[in-house]
């Protein structure tokens, strides 16, 4: 179970694919995939082995060519040891001969020499320079002999190299790998063509084989569709097929025969069911007519009882509504009385607050009067200060004049009057400062007088407003007194009305009790007749249900008959 929970979601898409794909496809596709994989593996292995053989042969051939050049260099070096110029011409000739011989065999080679780890072109021999990696030259310098393959600009080159001790350099032959692998590419294309042709041929063979396997199943499916359409006379004849398919065909024939027998039995049962349904419906119709007559008589009796009970209930309801209205009116009067008491308390509380406010305003008025008197006294005092300041100013001016005269006299006295002149200067300075101080004091006094005028005017205005407030409070107090008198009169009248309504409500309660007794008797009578009518209706409903069931039974038997007629059993 755990494995199914883990791997179930993973294999769900494959399960859906397995259900939707036809059997022919299930057999053909795996066979083709198997053929494709096996052919691809065989072709790939063959191509790889052939490539390795060709590369090995080319490596051996290039090694042989480099070895020939090394031997020729050694021989020519020995032969032309005294003539370097002839040696070089002979060497170039041998190298060109090697190029021409290999070119005739389809190999265009490039010849280089490696000296001190660098590739250098051979003079008048190397036709095209190749940018080999620098580390490749160092590697060849270290190895001295061998063959290697290197990728330069996306093109693989095969390099064969050998060391020439006479010239002290390494002779290198470079050949593009695509040159000597061209026949192998053609072979690869031929292999791909062969695989494709074999797959097409295999596809045709698979189709023929699978068709031979699935044809009996297709025939069996066709028979099943005819059976599902209602033709139970169909049988399969697959005796020429294998034992497994013959077993399936025999099972199918046996199943169809059993179904035909069952359908015949169902048709017989439907015929009997129709007869019973008609009998039940006839009996139900007779019982329904009798129950309908009984229900009509009970309904006539019930209507009379209902009219009596309805009239009594209407009268009782009217008295109850009247009593409820009286109770509501009494409750409203009680509420009004309670509200009147609350209003009396509120009016009394308001009267107390008005009295407190009147006393407070009176105290404010007295305070403002005292403040006005004090502001007047302050104004008079400021005027007195102004007179004193004027006097000080006059004294300061006279003192300055005296100090000036004293200074003049001291100047006349000369040296003897210097001390007196110093004193006169100091007196003049003090007189000047006194005059400045009196000017500042005069400004302050004038500011105080202006403020006192303003405050005095505001206090006078506030006093007048307090007088107006006193008048309004007196009017409000009189209004509260009148309101309290009106509330008292209304409360007295409402108490009298409440007493009368209580008496009326008590009388209505006695009348309502009598009507309720009469209504109860009417309801009991009505209940009895309704029970009888209900029983009659239930009986009639049961009969109607029986009739409907009989009709439904007949309808079902008709539909079953139609369904059974869809099957052709011979």
Give CA–CA dist 420/399, Å, rounded. 15
Task: Identify which has the larger pLDDT, 132 or 450.
Answer: 132
Answer yes or no: is pLDDT of 301 > 60: no
Pick the CATH number of 10-201 from 3.30.450.20, 3.40.1160.10, 3.30.450.40, 3.20.20.70: 3.30.450.20
Q: Domain 298-554 has what CATH class? A: mainly alpha
Three-state secondary structure call for residue 114: strand
User: What pLDDT shows up at residue 539?
Assistant: 67
Both structure tokens of 212: 């031979």
pLDDT digits (tens, 9 = 90+) for 151-201: 888 888 898 999 888 778 888 888 888 888 878 878 888 888 888 888 888
| 351: exposed, middle or buried (Cβ count in 10 Å: 0-12, 13-18, 19+) | middle
Query: Crossing angle of helices 182-228/23-79, nearest 10°?
Result: 180
Q: Where in the chain is the domain with CATH 1.10.287.950?
A: 298-554
Give CA–CA dist 59/159, Å, rounded. 8
Answer yes or no: is pLDDT of 1 > 70: no
State how far Cα 161 lies from the chain centre.
Answer: 71
Place 121 in a pLDDT band, splitting at 50, 70 and 90.
confident
> Which residues touch 26 (CB under 8 Å, ≥6 apart)?
18
User: What pLDDT shows up at residue 429?
Assistant: 74
Q: Percent of the chain, pLDDT > 90?
A: 1
Place 529 in a pLDDT band, splitting at 50, 70 and 90.
low
CB 35 within 8 A of CB 200: no
Neighbours of 152 (CB within 10 A): 14
Task: Identify which has the larger pLDDT, 13 or 185.
Answer: 185
Quickly list DSSP for 416-472. GGHHHHHHHHHHHHHHHHHHHHHHHHHHHHHHHHHHHHHHHHHHHHHHHHHHHHHHH
Give CA–CA dist 512/520, Å, rounded. 12
Neighbours of 221 (CB within 10 A): 10
Pair type for strands 155-164 and 118-121:
unpaired
Q: Where in the chain is the domain with CATH 3.30.450.20?
A: 10-201
Closest CA to 494 of 359, 344, 384: 344
User: What pLDDT shows up at residue 269?
Assistant: 74
Place 512 in a pLDDT band, splitting at 50, 70 and 90.
low
pLDDT digits (tens, 9 = 90+) for 220-259: 777 777 777 777 676 776 666 667 677 777 777 777 777 7
Rounded to an integer, the average pLDDT of 388-401 is 72
Answer yes or no: is pLDDT of 18 > 60: no
Question: In the 8-state DSSP scheme, what is residue 414?
Answer: G
CB 151 within 8 A of CB 174: no
User: What pLDDT shows up at residue 498?
Assistant: 64
Task: Using the Cα atoms of residue 313, residue 318, residue 322 and residue 327 in order, give the sign of their dihedral.
Answer: positive
CB 241 within 8 A of CB 54: no
Neighbours of 164 (CB within 10 A): 19
Place 416 in a pLDDT band, splitting at 50, 70 and 90.
low
Task: Identify which has the larger pLDDT, 87 or 254.
Answer: 87
Answer yes or no: is pLDDT of 94 > 70: yes
């Amino acid at each position: 179970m755990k494995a199914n929970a883990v791997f179930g979601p993973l294999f769900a898409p494959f399960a859906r694919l397995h259900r939707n794909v036809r059997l022919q496809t299930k057999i053909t596709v795996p066979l083709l995939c198997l053929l494709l994989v096996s052919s691809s593996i065989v072709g790939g292995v063959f191509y790889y082995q052939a490539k390795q053989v060709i590369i090995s042969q080319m490596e051996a051939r290039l090694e042989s060519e480099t070895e020939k050049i090394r031997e020729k260099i050694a021989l020519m070096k020995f032969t032309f040891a005294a003539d370097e110029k002839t040696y070089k011409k002979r060497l170039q000739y041998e190298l060109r001969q090697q190029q021409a011989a290999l070119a005739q065999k389809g190999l265009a080679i490039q010849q280089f020499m490696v000296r001190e780890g660098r590739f250098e072109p051979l003079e008048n021999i190397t036709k095209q320079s190749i940018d080999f990696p620098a580390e490749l030259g160092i590697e060849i310098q270290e190895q001295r002999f061998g063959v290697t393959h290197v990728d330069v600009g996306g093109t693989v080159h095969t390099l064969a190299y050998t060391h020439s001790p006479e010239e002290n350099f390494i002779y290198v032959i470079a050949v593009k790998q695509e040159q000597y692998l061209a026949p192998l590419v053609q072979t690869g294309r031929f292999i791909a063509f062969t695989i494709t042709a074999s797959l097409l041929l295999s596809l045709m063979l698979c189709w023929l084989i699978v068709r031979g396997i699935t044809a009996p199943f297709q025939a069996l499916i066709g028979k099943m569709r005819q059976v599902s359409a209602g033709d139970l006379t169909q049988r399969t004849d697959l005796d020429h097929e294998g034992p497994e398919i013959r077993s399936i065909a025999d099972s199918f024939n046996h199943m169809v025969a059993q179904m035909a027998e069952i359908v015949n039995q169902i048709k017989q049962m439907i015929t009997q069911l129709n007869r019973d349904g008609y009998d039940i419906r006839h009996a139900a119709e007779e019982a329904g007519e009798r129950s309908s007559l009984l229900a009509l008589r009970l309904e006539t009796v019930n209507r009379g009882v209902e009219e009596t009970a309805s009239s009594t209930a209407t009268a009782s309801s009217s008295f109850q509504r009247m009593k409820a209205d009286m109770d509501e009116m009494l409750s409203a009067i009680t509420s009004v009385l309670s509200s009147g008491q609350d209003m009396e308390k509120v009016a009394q509380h308001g009267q107390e607050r008005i009295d407190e406010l009147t006393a407070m305003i009176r105290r404010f008025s007295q305070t403002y009067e005292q403040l006005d008197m004090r502001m007047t006294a302050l104004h008079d005092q400021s005027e007195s200060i102004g007179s004193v300041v004027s006097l000080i100013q006059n004294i300061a001016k006279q003192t300055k004049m005296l100090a000036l005269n004293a200074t003049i006299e001291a100047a006349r006295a000369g040296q003897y009057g210097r001390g007196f002149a110093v004193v006169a200067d100091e007196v003049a300075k003090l007189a000047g400062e006194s005059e400045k101080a009196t000017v500042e004091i005069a400004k302050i006094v004038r500011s105080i007088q202006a403020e006192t005028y303003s405050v005095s005017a505001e206090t006078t205005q506030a006093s007048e407003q307090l007088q107006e407030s006193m008048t309004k409070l007196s009017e409000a107090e009189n209004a509260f007194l009148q309101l309290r008198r009106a509330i008292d009169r209304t409360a007295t009248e409402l108490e009298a009305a409440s007493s009368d309504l209580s008496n009326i409500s008590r009388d209505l309660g006695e009348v309502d009790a009598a009507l309720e007794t009469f209504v109860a008797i009417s309801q009991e009578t009505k209940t009895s007749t309704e029970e009888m009518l209900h029983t009659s209706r239930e009986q009639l409903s049961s009969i109607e249900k029986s009739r409907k069931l009989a009709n439904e039974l007949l309808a079902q038997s008709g539909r079953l008959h139609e369904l059974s007629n869809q099957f052709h059993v011979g």
